[in-house]
A and B are shown apart, each in its own frame.
Chain A
């Protein structure tokens, strides 16, 4: 009897160990490239290039200095931040009422708009951007941050509205109804009662809109030259070939990734909820 008991405990231990190991493996696979890039960014070039890799070395911030202080990365950072934050603000200001309306208006048109949102998400970017290439040149908006910001807002609106809508659906209708009986028009009810309580949903939608704008590569690469270029565009120019400036490229990669990593750590809850909100219907 004792032998049998031991067998089950062992078996559970083995199963447990295997489970944790597999997950750990995937964890490492996910993290490792970041870790490696970080290592590279703080190594002297001579260390960075040696194979087998050097694990004990004298760290240096030369790469970062070269990137941020001597280089123009600050400029790209400013552009990226300006465009991302700006597009989030505009996207939310016009997206919240729209998402709210879609949550409350139970007509057929609401359904079709949602379907349209899905369809637009599916379309290749070139369909939207191609005309802008020459329209922007002609109107002098080429290589401007404003244009990029507005296009980001527009292209991400379907997604933003969709996400906001699912959050608004969770607010019971009776709250607005109470407000409207108390004396509000629909818009006053929205402003005084719904807006103050839509916090978490807005934060989640805001985070995603920010990340989408922040990460965008195709649109800036087509519509900017140097003035309004964003960080993804800048770092792509370093490409994979530029061996000499490898440490600087690594520093660039880490620099771009860092704000996002911080957001993930702080706002993990919101991100997970946002990704799964639309999908898991309860």
Chain B
């Protein structure tokens, strides 16, 4: 029986109300504030687009954007490649699946702060185990003091943390795939590589899209690991947009400017998401 409009409204009302009050209302307020000169403690004054102009002409903003985009591109690609590889591997394995999945879930499920800390300790100059191992083979990298090393450190952590999500989703997709398509390919004489490229990847295309979109969204908004591991350093080398936002809004208490950065970040995310949404829409309507 079709749900009536009245019933629908009644059932969704409490949820919608809370979201409107605690999420949508502040959202609108932030937009509004982005056009204000508002430092916490004083009164806000309308200044039009000045915040936006200041930020868009600030090198620091563009550095943060560049680094954020770098992280997004590199880690998303790595997570998908490694995650897909693991999914394929696990698909061919019969033993120890449960334990493996439980173990590889840990980096993803555990609070990012914790994951960041314990990952970061391993790379500490004098008492990090990984640093020690690298030293043993003659490699001496100052992960926290060297700007590029620090950037790679952050990216490695993101990959470590997020790959299991990709792997799980693709693995679930693989299990839902009918074995017949693969068998038909084998009968036709396809090598393993050809099977992957011509049967598995096309089948998983919607999942790839979905997962990539989520990964891009999340990477663009990275905060926890920066704040805990490098605090944007050394200098500003590992400052992402969110961390930059945090510094301006709560470090300097320039809430107006901070709001503007948030809005700009949001626009950035939408620009990145647009192609994915378009592709997903195309996939859906083609069905």
Which A residues have a C-beta under 8 Å from some C-beta of B? Answer: 19-20, 22-23, 26-27, 29-34, 36-37, 40, 48-49, 51-53, 93-95, 97-98, 100-102, 104-107, 109, 113, 120-135, 150-151, 153-155, 157-158, 161, 173, 176-177, 180, 186-187, 190, 211, 214-215, 217-218, 221-222, 231-232, 235-236, 238-240, 243, 246, 249-250, 253, 256-257, 260-261, 263-265, 268, 271-272, 275-276, 279-282
- Whether the pair B266, A124 counts as a contact (CB closer than 8 A) is yes
**Set B220, B228, B266: member contacting A240, Cβ < 8 A:** B228
Give CA–CA (A177, B129) in the complex, Å. 62
**Set A20, A51, A158, A276: member contacting B168, Cβ < 8 A:** A276
Closest to B135 in A: A51
Chain B residues near A125 (CB-CB < 8 A): 221, 223, 242
Contact A217-B227, Cβ < 8 Å, known A100-B11, A128-B23: yes
Give the contacts of B135-182 with A (CB-CB under 8 A).
144, 160, 164-165, 168-169, 172-173, 176
Contact A127-B263, Cβ < 8 Å, known A30-B104, A105-B3, A133-B40: yes
Give the contacts of B1-43 with A (CB-CB under 8 A).
1-5, 7-8, 10-12, 14-16, 18-19, 21-23, 26-27, 29-30, 33, 40
Chain A residues near B89 (CB-CB < 8 A): 19, 22-23
**Set B109, B207, B255: member contacting A279, Cβ < 8 A:** B207
Give CA–CA (A122, B218) in the complex, Å. 7
Give the contacts of B85-126 with A (CB-CB under 8 A).
85-86, 89-90, 92-93, 98-107, 109-115, 117-122, 124, 126
Which B residues have a C-beta under 8 Å from some C-beta of A? Answer: 1-5, 7-8, 10-12, 14-16, 18-19, 21-23, 26-27, 29-30, 33, 40, 82, 85-86, 89-90, 92-93, 98-107, 109-115, 117-122, 124, 126-127, 129, 132, 144, 160, 164-165, 168-169, 172-173, 176, 206-207, 210-211, 217, 220-221, 223-224, 227-229, 241-242, 245-246, 249-250, 255, 258-259, 261-263, 265-266, 269-270, 273
- Whether the pair A256, B114 counts as a contact (CB closer than 8 A) is yes
Give CA–CA (A94, B16) in the complex, Å. 9
Chain A residues near B220 (CB-CB < 8 A): 124
A-B residue pairs, 3 tightest by C-beta: A215-B111, A154-B22, A101-B11
**Set A27, A94, A95: member contacting B104, Cβ < 8 A:** A27
5 CB-based A-B contacts, threshold 8 Å: A22-B85, A23-B100, A131-B29, A250-B118, A268-B101
Chain A residues near B259 (CB-CB < 8 A): 130
Give CA–CA (A236, B160) in the complex, Å. 19
Closest to A214 in B: B111
**Set B117, B207, B249: member contacting A249, Cβ < 8 A:** B117
- Whether the pair B105, A122 counts as a contact (CB closer than 8 A) is no
Give CA–CA (A114, B44) in the complex, Å. 35
- Whether the pair B111, A101 counts as a contact (CB closer than 8 A) is no
- Whether the pair B266, A123 counts as a contact (CB closer than 8 A) is yes
- Whether the pair A122, B164 counts as a contact (CB closer than 8 A) is no
Closest to A137 in B: B40
Give CA–CA (A131, B249) in the complex, Å. 10
Closest to B270 in A: A122
- Whether the pair A19, B169 counts as a contact (CB closer than 8 A) is no
**Set B1, B10, B106, B269: member contacting A261, Cβ < 8 A:** B106
Closest chain A CB from B82 CB (angstroms): 8
- Whether the pair B1, A180 counts as a contact (CB closer than 8 A) is yes
Closest chain A CB from B269 CB (angstroms): 5
Contact A97-B12, Cβ < 8 Å, known A127-B266, A264-B102: yes
- Whether the pair B118, A253 counts as a contact (CB closer than 8 A) is yes
Give CA–CA (A20, B241) in the complex, Å. 40
Closest chain B CB from A101 CB (angstroms): 4
Chain A residues near B18 (CB-CB < 8 A): 94, 150, 153-154, 157
Give CA–CA (A186, B10) in the complex, Å. 11
